[in-house]
Amino acid sequence: MLSTLCHSAQAQPTKVPRIGYLLVPSLAANASRVEALRQGLRELGYIEDKNIFIEWRSAEGKVERLPELAAELVQHKVDIIVSAGPTATRAAKEATAHIPIVMAQDTDPVGNGFIASLARPGGNVTGLSLLAPEIGGKQIELLKEVVPRLSQVATIGEPGNPGYTQQHKELDQVAAAFKVRLQNLEVRDP
C-alpha cells in the first residue's frame, strides 16, 4: 500500500507557476527591468518557459488597454500578477481581489488606495514603494555641499501624484534651512 501511494505521488505532474506581468509601456521600453526579473528568476533556479511561465501584457503606452489586459491575466489563471507602476496596479486590483499582486514600483500605494499601510498592506496587494520624501531633502543637502554657492534649485513633478505633496513639503523645509530658493515646476501632461 505504501509503495503504491509513493508511486502515485511521484506520478503527479507538478504545476508550473505562472506569473502575469502588466505594464503600460512596451516591453522594449522596459527591457532592463524585464531582464532583471528574468535574471532574478534564473538565480532562483527558474527558467522561463521551462519551470516557470510569464504572461507578458503591455499596453504599449495605451493606458485605456490596461483593464482588458488585466482581465486576460485573470482569465489565464496566473498565480501572481506583477504590476509595473501605479496605473497597472490599479487595473490589476480592479480585475481581481484574489490573485496576489506585487507592485514593482509605486510612489504612494497607501495614498493610491492599493494598501491599508506600508507595515500591514492587507488585501491582495503588496510590493515596493518609492515613497521616500526625505530623499529630496538629502539631495538638496548634497547639492549644497557640492556647490556651496547654490542659491536656486528647480524641481519637476506631477501634482496629481499622491507623493508629490509630501515630497515638496520636505523639499521646501530643507531648501529654506539651506537658504536655497526652490522653484517647483509642475507637469500636468506628457
Average pLDDT over residues 12-37: 89
Contact 56, 92 (CB under 8 A): no
**Residue 55 belongs to a domain with what CATH number?**
3.40.50.2300
Q: Exposed/middle/buried for 30, CB within 10 Å: 0-12, 13-18, 19+?
A: buried
- Give the pTM: 0.70
Please identify, among 86, 102, 127, the residue that sits at the C-terminal boundary of a domain.
127
Last residue of a domain, one of 87, 111, 127: 127
Q: Is residue 63 part of a domain?
A: yes
Element (H, E) at 142: helix 134-146
Instruction: Please give the Cα distance from 186 to 190 (Å, whole number).
Output: 11
Of 31-35, 81-85, 112-116, 167-171, which gets the smallest average pLDDT? 167-171
State whether 116 and 160 are in the same domain.
Answer: no
pLDDT of residue 98: 96
* Cα 25 → chain centroid: 13
21/174: higher pLDDT: 21
Domain count, the chain: 2
> 116 and 138: one domain?
no
* Judgement on whether residues 104 and 164 belong to the same structural domain of the protein: no
Of 26-35, 66-75, 107-116, 157-166, least confident by mean pLDDT is: 157-166
Domain range for 115 is 17-127
Same domain for 62 and 146, yes or no, is no
The verdict on residue 151 lying in a domain is yes
22 & 49 share domain: yes
**Secondary structure E strands in the chain:** 18-23, 53-58, 80-84, 101-105, 125-127, 152-157, 181-186
pLDDT the model gives residue 13: 63
Domain end call among 93, 127, 161: 127
Residue 116 lies in a domain: yes
